[in-house]
Amino acid sequence: AATDFDFESYIADIPDYPEPGVVFKDITPLFADANAMRQAITALADHFRGRGVTKVIGPEARGFMVGVPVALELGAGFIPARKPGKLPRETVSISYELEYGTDTLEIHADALEPGDRVLIIDDLVATGGTVAATGKLVQNMGAELIGYGCILELAFLNPRDALAASGDQELFSLV
Ligand code: 5GP
């Protein structure tokens, strides 16, 4: 299976970034390697192939890097979810809790139609707050949420608990 590939060896641990005590997972080595990148995109797309996905949504900014090629592989469109004020037309937004404070994501108000089947893709799922909020936005717009996919899931932060609150959609992670 494509998932036998050792994705983890292409992800660098960066201690004390962006602040002391945090170990940042850097996926840029995986994207810098042509074969590793292809393996990751193919494995994510293969997992969700045949489920009628019509749109992939990726949160800014690493969600763009992963989401666009997955959308191409699936024959789906891509929709960016962005920080406030970045999209030029009318938007719908959702705010979600962070450890300290809140964050907001926006997508274009006309980006989804009721019949759309939506896959949410990001590079990394930590607490699950980002993808859970994006999923809620999809559901608020009346589209169908198919699931969530990422390269790396930080299971010790229990993101599946955050996702369970908005439904039983699957989270698929390569690492
Ligand atoms: P969550 O909302 O699940 O707590 O955090 C996930 C979001 O923050 C994703 O959009 C992801 O890109 C970013 N993020 C948080 N920690 C890391 C990390 O260690 N490495 C990378 N590449 N992204 C991170």
Band (5; pLDDT cuts 50, 70, 90): very high
Q: What is the pLDDT of residue 110?
A: 98
pTM: 0.96
**What is the distance in A from the centroid of ligand 1 to the CA of 129?**
9
Q: State whether ipTM is beyond 0.85.
A: yes
Could you tell which of 30, 120, 123 is best to mutate to test the pocket of ligand 1, judged by most ligand atoms within 8 Å of the CB? 123
Q: pLDDT digits over 77-131, tens only?
A: 999 999 999 999 999 999 999 878 999 999 999 999 999 999 999 999 999 999 9
Select which of 62, 82, 106, 153 is catalytic.
62
Could you tell which of 121, 124, 151, 154 is best to mutate to test the pocket of ligand 1, judged by most ligand atoms within 8 Å of the CB? 124
Structural domains in the chain, sorted by start: 50-173 (3.40.50.2020)
User: Are the C-beta atoms of 50 and 75 separated by less than 8 Å?
Assistant: no
Could you give the CA distance from residue 119 to residue 111 in angstroms, rounded to a whole number?
A: 14
Give the helix ranges, DSSP H, for 33-154: 34-48, 62-74, 129-140
Q: What is the pLDDT of residue 165?
A: 83
